[in-house]
Structure 1
Amino acid sequence: MRTLPPMSTLRAFEATARTGSITRAAEELCRTHGAVSRQLRLLQEHAGTTLFEKDGTGVRLNERGQGMYDVVRAVFDQLEQSYSRLQDQARGPSLHVACSATFAMRWLVPNMVDFYRLRPDIRIRLSMTSAREMRTEGADVVIAWDLSAYPEPDRQRALHLAPVAFGPVCAPSYAASVRSGVRIAHDFTSSAWDQWEALSGKRIAPARELTFPHTHLCIEAALGGVGVALIEQRLIRRELEDGQLIAPYGFARFSNGLMAVPAARELPKDAKVFVGWLRDKLAEYEPGM
């Protein structure tokens, strides 16, 4: 027989510890403030020790409570992931696709309606991630252009989807400052500028460099006139057409292009359909030079 407190007390504890507020925990759990307080009191009586202390108008974990929360949070996370997978299995075939947040927001999600018209029976589970997602979260396919940080077996399985073309872009008002102004770089693809300079034969020597962890932040910085950013052409097609961004040196095609990295050498049937659709859809807009 397991010696565990009632599940309702653990739910109240986890929500209160995570939000730092009994009131917010009550709202999240659709309970009253008094009901959550009673659950916390019951848990502490069951454990024989206090787990919280007052913190202004809220509460915070004491040392024993923090140790308990570390365990409960990990267990709840595992339960949530397992239950989500169970629901996915019950609903039928699905495909877990991982890609960068910017590619998802600016290209994949806006085009998904076309895929669902073609195959309404295949559900796409989408996550924003990198190579680690495939190993730790079970992604079926990872979409990326820079595979330098991927293990060799992953790179060998990679399937070419489409060419990519990168170019320095900035707001029209910033054009005169491009050569010696602020260069905007991505934290995790820092070699992109070096690749562009080698391919284009041009060089931008910035007075300083700013880095951001996501491409969409680099794009927003360029739109705001902060500096010049190196961006893949498809991701800013609308801004280029509208004249919000200009590409004073044009675009250079990178060697590998956009790739699909499957989790296994043999692609599942649904993944083959999705990869084929990606190739066809990406080919509708061929990046220029």
Structure 2
Amino acid sequence: MTDRDLPPMNALRAFEAVARLRSVTRAAAELHVTHGAVSRQLRLLDEALGRSLFVRQGRGLALTDVGEQLHEGAGAAFEQLRESWASLRQRSAQAPFVLGCSGSLLARWVIPRLDRLGRDLPELRLHLSAQEPPLMPEPGKLDAVLQLAAPPATSNWQVEVLAPERIGPVVSPRYAGWPRLQDQPASRLLEEPLLHTTSRPQAWPDWMRCMGLPAPPAGTGPGFPHLYHLLEAAIAGLGVAIAPAPLVSEDLASGRLLAPWGFRATTAAWLLATPSRLPDPRASALAAWLRDELAGG
């Protein structure tokens, strides 16, 4: 070890805990490791220095002169780290939590629930940012993203799977073709103009496949750039749309839309993704709230 090197950090952490607590057993409990693991780390330091840091004193331990010198420096350094970490966590808790999601998800699902979210999580200073796919949490810009997607196969994100995605056809009772669709099987939809989003052209084929039906012909109905526009068109009676169940729950409850053929699970899910960094307890609290909200419909 050269003069510019630091001791192994795990060993130094074990030493600081033992020196402060005067006990290997108590240090092991604080560090959530075994007694033997702490003893091994102390031996590493003894061997690196060529001198002992502790001596036995009755049933406990006492620092040698060398140990006292190391403890003076290490103890001050770890205490400064603890204070800095506590300050950072406090600032983090007070800073806004910036959540990104698509404009459609924001308008159709998040905004209608903001009042309830504020009551349930009063400590969360939530700021919303409308983003278009592909969404990615960026340190310094977004603290998390809420999206409907397949879980990403990347180590750059911490991903909470909140609920499976379920999609299905919805139609307005104002739609001119509703009388000929009422009480008819799902296969009858193949004869109707099917509204879709250009960002997700596979939604109709996926649902039809789940129902054991052939994929509808391409271009059977108008396409819209965003899900929000698609659902507004369906409410206006322009045709049959397909959408995730939670995004139309209020429309179904009010009777603006009907879902007579039901919803089916897809390979996608509701996800809350955060950057891979130190865990933010606010993200965990938000994930739990979102999971409960989705479970409740």
Q: What TM-score do you get using the length of structure 1 for normalisation?
A: 0.59
Alignment partner, residue 271 of structure 1: 283
Structure 1 CA distance, aligned partners of 2:114 and 2:97? 13
Q: What are the Cα deviations for residues 14-69 of structure 1, in whole angstroms up to 9, with x where unaligned?
A: xxxxxxxxxxxxxxxxxxxxxxxxxxxxxxxxxxxxxxxxxxxxxxxxxxxxxxxx
Matched, 1:188 2:199: yes
Pairing partner for 2:142 from 139, 155, 162: 139
Distance (whole Å) between structure 1 residues aligned to residue 215 and residue 257 of structure 2: 17
Give matches, 1:118-267, under 5 Å.
118-129=120-131, 130-132=133-135, 134-135=137-138, 138-147=141-150, 152-153=154-155, 157-172=158-173, 173=175, 174-175=177-178, 176=180, 178-203=189-214, 205=216, 208-264=220-276, 266-267=278-279
Deviates more, 1:187-196 or 1:89-98: 89-98
The secondary structure found in structure 2 opposite 1:131 is coil
Contact 2:101/2:135 (<8 A) preserved: no
8 Å Cα contact 2:148-2:269 kept in structure 1: yes
Range moving further from structure 2, 131-140 or 120-129: 131-140
User: Please, which moves more after superposition, 159-168 or 192-201?
Assistant: 192-201
SS at 2:190's partner residue?
coil
Assess if the C-alpha contact under 8 Å between 1:164 and 1:258 holds in 2: yes
1:186 CA displacement = 1.3
In structure 1, C-alpha distance between the alignment counterparts of 2:207 and 2:278, rounded to whole Å? 34
Change (3 A) 1:151 1:137: farther
Hey, what's the Cα distance between the residues in 1 that align with 2:140 and 2:237?
A: 38
User: Conserved in 2, the CA contact under 8 Å of 1:98 and 1:128?
Assistant: yes
Amino acid at match of 1:104: L
Shift of 1:265: 5.2
Measure how far apart 1:200 and its partner are.
2.2
Letter in 2 for 1:260: L
Q: Encode CA deviations 1:248-275: one digit per residue, 9 max, x unaligned.
A: 3211122332111112254312111111
How far off its partner does 1:137 sit?
7.2
Give the Cα separation in 1 of the matches to 2:235 and 2:120: 35
Indicate whether 1:105 and 2:116 are aligned: no
1:163 and 1:254 in contact (8 A); partners too: yes
Match of 1:6 in 2: none
Q: Distance in 1 between matches of 2:282 and 2:259?
A: 38
Q: Which amino acid aligns with 1:92?
A: Q
Larger radius of gyration: 2
CA contact (8 A) 1:193 1:230 kept: yes
**TM-score of the superposition, structure 2-length normalised?**
0.58
State the Cα deviation string for residues 46-102 of structure 1 (Å, max 9, x = none): xxxxxxxxxxxxxxxxxxxxxxxxxxxxxxxxxxxxxxxxxxx89932211111222
Per the alignment, residue 25 of structure 2 pairs with none
The 1:136/1:191 distance shift into structure 2, 3 A limit, reads farther
Tell me the distance in 2 between the aligned counterparts of 1:179 and 1:221.
19
What is the CA–CA distance in structure 1 between the aligned matches of 2:230 and 2:140, rounded to whole Å? Answer: 27
* Paired amino acid for 2:225: P
Closer, same or farther in 2 for the Cα pair 1:113/1:242, shift >3 Å?
closer
1:283 maps to: 295
Percent of aligned pairs sharing the same letter: 26
Between 270-279 and 191-200, the greater mean CA deviation after superposition? 191-200
Amino acid across the alignment from 2:245: Q
| Equivalent residues of 1:131, 1:142 under 8 A apart | no
Residues 128/90 of structure 1: CA separation in 2 closer, same or farther (3 Å cut): same
What is the DSSP-based 3-state SS (H/G/I as helix, E as strand, rest coil) of the residue aligned with 1:102?
Answer: helix
Query: CA offsets, 1:225-247, max 9 Å, x none?
Result: 21211111111112222332222
For 1:93, the equivalent position in structure 2 comes to 95
